[in-house]
Amino acid sequence: MNVLWLQSAGCGGCTMSLLCAEGPNAFDLLSGAGIEFLWHPALSEQTGGEVLRLLQAVESGEIALDVLAVEGSILTGPRGTGRFHMLSGTGRSMLDWVRALAERAQHVVAVGTCATYGGVTSAGGNPASAIGVQYDGRQPGGALPADFRSRSGLPVINVAGCPTHPDWVTETLLLLAAGDLDAAALDSLGRPRFYADNLVHHACPKNEFYEYKASATKLSEMGCMMEHLGCVGTQAVGDCNIRGWNGDGACTRAGYPCINCTAPEFEEPRHTFTETPKFAGIPVGLPSDMPKAWFMALASLSKAATPRRIARNAVSDRIEVAPNQKTGKT
């Protein structure tokens, strides 16, 4: 299976994340499964005329294209022409190339939240009219129309994340190579369900604090960050805390709140990322499927039952009170 990877408007962070894959690294893993890059702008040796001839050969059908992978948002300005972002040396916009090559691809994969929904590059006034490959924020229809389907019959596969987890990219490509990724394997926003059926909250190391609503008040503290510090891991899809980044890391494991970077429009929450908006003292962003009345009752009971150990440690930057050791006495 061959992959043509285009980098559009963005920071290149998803490629950097992919390069951080370990045990095995991305190159060994993909090549072992027979997956090869036709071209990647940051990894391949070809430049200039060589790349232009390759793109033309793919567009003409002379070279079959198995996967078109797009990293970064697509700029459609000014006035829908896409000429704010020209693919250097080709005389054509990235918007034009993506539309042309998508028609030839067996599968189209959007890598990272900029490519999937517009992401950070669409924030603010969005003067360049940045959009995703098949979504504009939450609205279906981006650089490609909402009803676009690749030659496989699938919509654009949205491997969202800012940056996306390296394993999400490699696992998606491995599943495509094996013929094991179909429409049922994607959620309602086109994200692969192997990671989107999980919440960041699952396996979070702060879950004991969450259970007792023992909350941190500043970033250096150990407690749950939902109540005061903007964490939305109870709503955000992703298995970040289950598989870990490079075997161990994750945002909440590092003491920073989950900002729901796998979701459309996460980049503009209308408040700072480290602030929890509240109404009448109740966090606006409640866990998925939890009525407010239940949350109030649960929070009151949990806070009343909070062990001293958890309450003290929640507002400390290290463990101050260790768990009691059972003596065997009744």
* pLDDT higher than 70, residue 128: yes
Q: How confident is the model at residue 289 (pLDDT cuts 50, 70, 90)?
A: low
- Cα of first residue to Cα of last residue in the chain, in angstroms, is 64
**pLDDT tens-place string over residues 35-72:** 999 999 999 999 999 999 999 999 999 999 999 999 99
How confident is the model over 114-129, as a mean pLDDT? 96
The residues facing 93 across adjacent strands are 86
- The structure's pTM equals 0.91
Q: How high is the pLDDT of residue 285?
A: 63
Share of the chain above pLDDT 70, in %: 94
CATH node for 2-195: 3.40.50.700
**pLDDT tens-place string over residues 96-109:** 999 999 999 999 99
Return the CATH number of 198-319, one of 3.40.50.10490, 3.30.70.1400, 3.40.630.10, 4.10.480.10.
4.10.480.10
The residues facing 87 across adjacent strands are 92
**pLDDT tens-place string over residues 143-186:** 999 999 999 999 999 999 999 999 999 999 999 999 999 999 99
* pLDDT higher than 60, residue 137: yes
Averaged confidence pLDDT in the chain: 92
d(CA 17, CA 165): 7
**Residue 109 is encoded by which pair of tokens?**
């994969």
User: Domain-by-domain residue ranges, the chain?
Assistant: 2-195, 198-319
> Across the chain, where does the E strand assignment appear?
2-7, 36-39, 65-71, 74-75, 86-87, 92-93, 105-111, 130-131, 135-136, 139-140, 157-159, 278-279, 282-283
Q: How high is the pLDDT of residue 278?
A: 81
Are the folds of 2-195 and 198-319 the same? no
Q: How high is the pLDDT of residue 166?
A: 94
**pLDDT tens-place string over residues 207-264:** 999 988 899 999 999 999 998 999 999 999 999 999 988 778 899 999 999 999 999 9
